[in-house]
Amino acid sequence: MVKKKTCIFISGKGSNLRNLISRSRDNNFPIKISLVICNNMEAYGVNYAKKNKVPYIFVDAKKKNYENKILFNLKKHKISFICLAGYMKIISSRIIRNYKNKIINIHPSLLPKFKGLNTHLRAIKNNEKYSGCTVHYVNSKLDSGKIILQKKIKIKKNDTPLSLAKRILAEEHKLYPKAILKVFNL
C-alpha cells in the first residue's frame, strides 16, 4: 500500500495526533504522518511530533501571509491529505481550494448541532440527552462539510463539560482512524 503523505494541524494537547501517529505505523493504515502544523507555540502536541521525528512548523495565523507558509510547507513535504485535530483556527478558502475534498476534521459534537466552540457546555445547558463526535470534510462554512462518521454517547445526569469532554475524547480516538479508513475505502 502506498500511504498518503498527511499533515496534521493542531493547536493544543495533541492526543488525536498521538493516536494517528500510532495508527499510521500499521502497514494497512492508509496515511503516513509527514508534517505537523501548529498555530500555538505552547502546544504540548508538538512533543509527539518531536518524539516521533515528524517534521513540524509553527504558523502565526495573525501574520498577513501565514497561508503562504502553510501552502509552501504542504507542497515541500508533498502532502496530499490533511487532518485537523484540535486546530483552533478556521482554514482559509485558499487552502481549502488547493486541497478540495482532501481535508477532514474531528469535531466534539453531533453535527450539525453545536458547531464552533464550547460544545460540551452548550449540549449540557441545552439539556441534550446525547452528544458525541463527528468526522467531516472541511469546506468554506464552519463545521458544515459532509459528515463521514459520527459516534453518539449518552450525557449523564452528573456530567460537567469536563467529564463529558473526557468521555468524548476517548471516542474521538476510536472514530478518527475509522473515518480515515472509510475515506480511503478500506
Of the residues 77, 107, 120, 136, which is catalytic?
107
**What is the C-alpha separation between 61 and 69, in angstroms, rounded?**
10
Cβ neighbours for 18, distance < 8 A, ≥ 6 positions apart: 45, 48
Q: Where are the alpha helices (DSSP H) in the chain?
A: 15-24, 46-51, 66-76, 93-98, 119-125, 161-183
Confirm whether 120 is a catalytic residue. Answer: no
Q: What angle do CA 117, 168, 178 make, to 5 degrees?
A: 105
Sign of CA dihedral 138, 152, 130, 14: negative
Enter the C-alpha cell of residue 66. 501565514
Q: Which residues are catalytic?
A: 107
